[in-house]
């Protein structure tokens, strides 16, 4: 079921205007944070389930989706944490829960470190929090993800062409088609010369990847918020480190999503929504 959240623009640091998507709902408030290169609206299917019991909000981090920022703005992940805190301050709920995917999960932990106990609890799918070592070095400048981002095709003749291309090849060939539709519909803007173009341009996405070595892992023992770390069974780097993140957190637990990959929130939105709901309740 497609939901239609209200778009709200919220000032953050560095002259950034964050786009927040308020889905409504009468229950406890939860804010959902997206991965690098994505935007808040790919949580649409998850929120369509959660709004039965929760007040759902997602956001577009700086450089992503409908958020606006001055040219040359740093893509450091502490800025993403500031964007998140700005949205939290805007809504001013008495208490709020957080859910995050990949970079979005890391941003919630960075926000929690900056402002302890801002979240009641956290549900995070494979946050990018790497201990110092070979994997961390690989994620530094020149890493494969940044190189691929700079080569990414940005323009298509239509959203339909973009959807068909993504749906025909991994990793998006394995995701829920309605989730992919939300990603494409709200991840592209109309181009003045015709066709559509990615809102999160390849250069911006590359810079986000290049800033992924936050050093946060060493500070995990100081983050006391009750946290569920979820991980896939694909044996890639984020999946391998997820249980270690849970172990490093004083109040962390781990949940395995067998049969899914790093893109689980788009592969099986209902399963993800059920996990979040059961955890918070």
Residue 187 lies in a domain: yes
How far apart CA 165 and CA 273 sit, in angstroms, is: 27
**Number of structural domains the chain divides into:** 1
How far apart CA 267 and CA 264 sit, in angstroms, is: 5
What's the pLDDT tens digit per position in 111-154?
A: 999 999 999 999 999 999 988 766 555 555 447 899 999 999 99
Residue 179 lies in a domain: yes
Residue 10 lies in a domain: yes
Kindly list the distances between the CA atom of residue 2 and the CA atoms of 20, 100, 157, 178, 277, in Å, as whole numbers in the listed order.
17, 20, 24, 8, 19
Model confidence, pTM: 0.95
Residue 181 lies in a domain: yes
CB atoms within 10 A of CB 25: 18
How far apart CA 188 and CA 66 sit, in angstroms, is: 10
- Residue spans of beta strands (DSSP E) within 79-176: 97-101, 121-125, 155-156
Residue 1 lies in a domain: no
What residues make up the domain containing 19? 6-280
CA dihedral (252, 258, 262, 263) positive or negative: negative
CB atoms within 10 A of CB 169: 9
Could you tell me the two tokens for 83?
Answer: 């964007």
Please tell me the predicted confidence (pLDDT) of residue 141: 46
CB atoms within 10 A of CB 10: 18
Residues of the chain with pLDDT under 50: 141-142
Could you tell me the two tokens for 273?
Answer: 């929504």
**Domain of residue 17, CATH code:** 3.40.50.1820
Please tell me the predicted confidence (pLDDT) of residue 131: 86
How far apart CA 32 and CA 104 sit, in angstroms, is: 8
């Amino acid at each position: 079921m497609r939901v239609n959240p209200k778009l709200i623009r919220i000032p953050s640091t560095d002259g950034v205007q964050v786009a927040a998507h308020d889905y409504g709902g009468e229950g406890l408030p939860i804010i959902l944070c997206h991965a690098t290169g994505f935007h808040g609206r790919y949580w649409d299917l998850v929120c369509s389930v959660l709004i039965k019991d929760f007040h759902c909000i997602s956001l577009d981090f700086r450089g992503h989706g409908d958020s606006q920022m001055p040219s040359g703005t740093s893509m450091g992940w502490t800025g993403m944490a500031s964007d998140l805190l700005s949205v939290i301050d805007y809504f001013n709920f008495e208490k709020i829960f957080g859910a995050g995917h990949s970079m979005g999960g890391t941003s919630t932990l960075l926000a929690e470190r900056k402002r302890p106990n801002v979240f009641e609890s956290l549900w995070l799918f494979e946050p990018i929090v790497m201990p110092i070592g070979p994997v961390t070095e690989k994620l530094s400048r020149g890493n494969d993800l940044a190189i691929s981002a700079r080569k990414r095709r940005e323009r298509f003749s239509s959203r339909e062409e973009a959807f068909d291309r993504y749906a025909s090849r991994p990793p998006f060939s394995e995701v829920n088609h309605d989730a992919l539709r939300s990603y494409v519909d709200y991840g592209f803007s109309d181009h003045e010369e015709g066709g559509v173009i990615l809102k999160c341009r390849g250069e911006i996405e590359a810079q986000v990847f290049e800033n992924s070595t936050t050093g946060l892992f060493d500070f995990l023992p100081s983050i006391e918020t009750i946290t569920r770390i979820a991980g896939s069974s694909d044996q890639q780097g984020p999946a391998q480190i997820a249980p270690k993140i849970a172990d490093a957190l004083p109040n962390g637990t781990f949940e395995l999503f067998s049969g899914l990959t790093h893109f689980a929130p788009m592969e099986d939105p209902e399963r993800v929504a059920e996990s979040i709901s059961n955890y918070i309740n």
